[in-house]
Each structure stands twice: as C-alpha cells, then as structure tokens.
Structure 1
Amino acid sequence: MGAPGSGAVVQPCARCGSRWAVQGAPMHWCPRCRGVLLSPGPVDAPPERRNYRWVARPPGRRPRPGGARPPVPAPGGTPGYPDMPRWGLRDASPEPARQERGRLARLADRVAGLLVLTAVLFALAAVAEIGRYLILLRNRTRLIPQALLVVSDVSLYLLAGFALLTALVTAVALVGWLIRVRRAAYAAAGERDPWPVPMLLCGCLIPVVNLLWPGVFLTELARRTDPRALRAVRIWWCAWILDGVLVVAALCWHAADSLQARADGVMLSAWTDLAAAAVALLSLWVVRRCEGRDLRGRKRQPQRWVPATGPAAVLIEPVHRTGEAAGRAPEAEVGDDRAATGAAPGTAEQEEVMAK
C-alpha cells in the first residue's frame, strides 16, 4: 500500500501499525495481519486532535469530567514500610483435597510410639519373669509370703498380657506402614506395587508364615528407597527368626512337669521377652532407615565425599642447596657455617637441632 497523501483519511491497524486509506465504508479488519482497525482519522492530524486516544485507568474508576488531570504530587523521598508490604497480585495456592483415611492409615502414623511402648512392656515383663525366678530360688530354703506371691503373679500376668496385646496392635500398624511406604516407593518410579494388600496382610500376620515374608517385603522396599538399609533389614530378619524360635521353645518348655523344668521355663520366658523388646527396637531402626531418618526421628544428612583435584599443599618447604655449596661435603658445610658465625660448636649444634 502506498503512503496516503496529505489530508487523506486513514485507519491504523492496532496490531501491525499499517495505515489504510478509507475509500467508502470503513473496514474492521486489517487485510495484512487480520488485526483490528481503529476508527478513521486524518493522516496528518496531531495526537491531541485525533478521534481516539489510549487512556489507562485503574479498574472501576470513571473518567474525570472535562478531561481534567489530577494534580501531580511533588516528588518526595524513597517510600518506606515498617513491615513487609502485602499489596500486589497474590495467587492463593489451592488447598489440597481432603482424603478420607482409614483406621489402618491412622494407626500407621503412630507406629514409632507403639514400637517404643512394646519394647518397654516386654522389658518390664522380662523383669517380672526374673523376679519370679528369684522367688523360686528363695523358696528352696524358706517360705515365701503370700502377699509377695500375689504381687508377683499379678504383675507377671498383667505385663505379659499388655505386652502381647500391644505387640499385636503394633504388628497391624507396621503392616499399614509397610503398605503405605511400598506404595509411595513404587509410585515414585511410575509403577504399581506387585503385591496386593491382602497378600501383604497375610504374609505379615499369619504365624510361621510371617517369619519369611516380612523380610522379603522389606528387602524389596530397601532396594528401592535406600540400598544402605539392607544391612538393617537383614539384622532385623535374623533377630525376628531367633525370637520366633525362642517363643516356640518357651511354649514347649512350659509343658514339662518337673519343678526344675518349670523354673528353667521361667528363665527362658525372660530371655524371650528381652528378645521381643530387642526386636521392637530393631523394627523402629528399620522404619527410621527406610524413611531416611535416624533412630530419634531426625532427618539424616547425607555424607558426600569430594575427590581432591590438585596435589597436596606442602606445608614445610624442604631446604635445597644452591651454588657452590651443592658440591661440598656436609661436614665442610657445617664447618663453614660455624666459622662464619663465630659461634661455639655446642651452640651451632643446638641451632641445627632447633632448625630441624
């Protein structure tokens, strides 16, 4: 398109800036870029006489009557604020949708506290068993008061019962924790846990079967989350199997009829309770290692070794001979130093030792 002559009426394009001469009815769209054409106006009209003008106003503010402009305030100092300004565009992040959590998930959140409680109860039960064994030893030569026997029986049965009940609840909580952590580990890799939830429950809660499958499940989890946790899983697995063997041996030992066998069964029960307390603490260790925490629940800081790129810096530069002194014997060099300084032989030897 040629340049329009003086006094021609044109329509500027709001997109590409081209000016199109008006011939007849005004156009709405630019033939070049399909942009919006502004209203017609003289091509040589000054900006204040054009029939359009861009005015920027805040939202909701109406134009002033008569086109009067507001007075411009005198420039002042740099604005200051007593605290962090809160004005501006702020996009509030959407709140995550609430997910209904079952009892198993809520129980899995308390697995650490349940493990500590289980270890404490089994340790107290072991102390009660040891107290019963000492009473039996005392009863060989002297009679035991009836009140002491009642206290021993009540403490033993109560602590053993509470320990077993807490251990059962803790086992269910551990299974819930295992399901949640395995699901998160496989989801991070874009996969799905190959073991269904009923299989995890059966493999961890059915007696005798649960001596094998929990170690398999934890080994798969450790290989995906932190391979360094495999050592903790293997130690826990050995302790878990040993505790199962001790439980079976204690049950069989209590079936004996002789007094000595029953006394030995009490001591074996004490060792079984101590092993159960140790397994509870080892379980807490495995849980923390798989979560990337230490035994107290603090976040573990990774230790990184950086290879050295340059040679080791020499702290003490060795003494090198220069000039004619390089060809002399060490004795002659020492003699020359003594003659030059005029010091006594003993003093030179002391200075040499201090220099070394």
Structure 2
Amino acid sequence: MTEQRDVQRAGRLAAGGLLLAGLAWAVRGAWEVRLALAGEPASGPPDQGDGVHRPLNALEDSYHLVTSLTGVAVVLCALLFLSWLGRVRDTARALSGQEPRYAGIWVYAGWLVPVVNLWFPRGIVVDAFRRTAPGRKVPVCVEVWWVLWLIGMLSGVGIVYRDSTDEIIARAYTEVWPLLASDAAVIGAAVAGVFAVRAVTRAQVERIREGWAAPAAVVATPAPGLS
C-alpha cells in the first residue's frame, strides 16, 4: 500500500509541475505577443550593440520578470518530474524483478549529456512502462511528449535557448512567429507529459493492486475437502 501511495503522490506532483510550467510558458508567449503588437520603440532594441543597452520600457521590464518566474516554474517542474522518474524506475524494477535498462545515474545525467539526451530520458520512461506492463503498447502520449520536447529543446528559442532575454525581446519585435511556434511546442510537451505521467503511473498502480489481489485470492480459496 505504501508503494502505491508513493507512486501516486509522485505522479500527481509531476503532473502538477508540468501544468505549472506549461501555464508559465503560455504567459511568456502572451507577453511576446504583446511585444510584437507594441512594436519596437524608436530608440531601437534593448541591446544596442557594442555593450550598450538602453533603459527598458515598462513592457520590456515586465517580460524580464515573466521569464524569471517561468524559469522558477521550469526548475520546480524538473525537480518533481525527476523525482517521479526515479520512483517509477525503481518501482518497475521491484515489480518485474529485473534490473532497469538504464543505470540510475541516467535519470539525471540523461538530460544533460549531449547526444544521449536525445533518447535516454524517453528510454527510461518506456523501459519503466514495459517492465511494469509487459506486452502492452507504449502509450502514444509518451511519444508525443518526447517529440514536442525535442522540438522545444532544439529550436534554440524554447527550453534551451541561446539568446539573452533582451535579444529575445528584439526578436519578438521583428520575428515573433518562430518564438510562438517554439512556445507552442513547449506547452504541448507539458500537456502531453501530464498524460504520459498519468499513463505510466496508472499502469504501475494497476500492477501493484494485482499483486495484492493474487495473495488475497489464494487465502479466500478453501482447501480441498473443507468446502
């Protein structure tokens, strides 16, 4: 029973973190639309080049605040998601009696090491599901989550962006659509991630309950000659 509660709690927290991050990123996208509609000031972009930065106007200053709050939401989401990922990996090992395909260090390092971060995190989720529910097809939401995550990560303006906040403001003034497309991928990944977390968590809860039901059925079955 404790194992079931732990898995369910980790799943709820991870899903909540994903929803929070998705909402924060949607607010960020809305601010980029506001910047695009306002248009670039006559004084030019915030970063004037050669190390010169003009004073920010109120809208630009508020965008800096929004991006900072979004960053906090993403960090919180990451911590909750990693906690869930470690939990379902360990639970899958206990349920299957088999060692996971990926060592525990990859629950964390798999997101950071170049190249392997393109498939290791998804692999850990898929491995946990397959060991929990052998023979069942991996939920489509897991694949959707990972594809959208990669788009958001590799677009250069999404989860891992190379431009400074002032440079992103300048881009919002001149080419907002690539920013919004990347934002949509990140938000979509967060929503799909909620469904993926729920699907894997539900599979583990069902498997745990089956484990309880089997011993109960044995106890309830009368011995021969006693009926």
> TM-score, normalization: structure 2?
0.65
2:138 to 219, 226, 229: 229
Q: Distance in 2 between matches of 1:199 and 1:117?
A: 25
The within-5 A match list for 1:1-356 is 110-136=13-39, 150-206=57-113, 209-226=116-133, 227-247=136-156, 251=161, 263-292=173-202
Deviation of 1:266 (Å): 4.1
Conserved in 2, the CA contact under 8 Å of 1:232 and 1:285?
Answer: yes
2:34 partner SS = helix
In 2 relative to 1, CA 219–275 (structure 1 residues): closer, same or farther, beyond 3 Å?
Answer: same
Deviation of 1:112 (Å): 1.9
Deviation of 1:224 (Å): 2.5
In 2 relative to 1, CA 157–171 (structure 1 residues): closer, same or farther, beyond 3 Å?
Answer: same
In 2 relative to 1, CA 156–107 (structure 1 residues): closer, same or farther, beyond 3 Å?
Answer: farther
In 2 relative to 1, CA 262–232 (structure 1 residues): closer, same or farther, beyond 3 Å?
Answer: closer
Residue ranges of structure 2 left out of the alignment (5+ in a row): 43-55, 204-227
Calculate percent identity across the aligned residue pairs: 23
Q: Distance in 2 between matches of 1:209 and 1:265?
A: 32
Q: Distance in 2 between matches of 1:282 and 1:264?
A: 30
Deviation of 1:156 (Å): 1.1
Q: Distance in 2 between matches of 1:214 and 1:160?
A: 25
Conserved in 2, the CA contact under 8 Å of 1:108 and 1:176?
Answer: no
In 2 relative to 1, CA 166–260 (structure 1 residues): closer, same or farther, beyond 3 Å?
Answer: closer
**Aligned residue type for 1:113:** G
Residue ranges of structure 1 left out of the alignment (5+ in a row): 1-95, 141-148, 294-356
| Structure having greater relative contact order (Cα 8 Å, sep ≥ 6) | 2
In 2 relative to 1, CA 112–241 (structure 1 residues): closer, same or farther, beyond 3 Å?
Answer: same
Instruction: Provide the aligned length of Structure 1 versus Structure 2.
Output: 182
Conserved in 1, the CA contact under 8 Å of 2:110 and 2:117?
Answer: yes
Conserved in 1, the CA contact under 8 Å of 2:139 and 2:196?
Answer: no
Structure with bigger helix share is 2
**Aligned residue type for 1:292:** R
Conserved in 1, the CA contact under 8 Å of 2:129 and 2:200?
Answer: yes
> TM-score, normalization: structure 1?
0.44
In 2 relative to 1, CA 248–188 (structure 1 residues): closer, same or farther, beyond 3 Å?
Answer: same
In 2 relative to 1, CA 260–240 (structure 1 residues): closer, same or farther, beyond 3 Å?
Answer: closer
Higher radius of gyration, 1 or 2: 1
Deviations 1:148-193 (A, max 9, x none): x733123211111111222122122212111111211121122233
**Aligned residue type for 1:268:** P
Q: Distance in 2 between matches of 1:182 and 1:251?
A: 29
Conserved in 2, the CA contact under 8 Å of 1:116 and 1:280?
Answer: yes
2:39 partner SS = helix
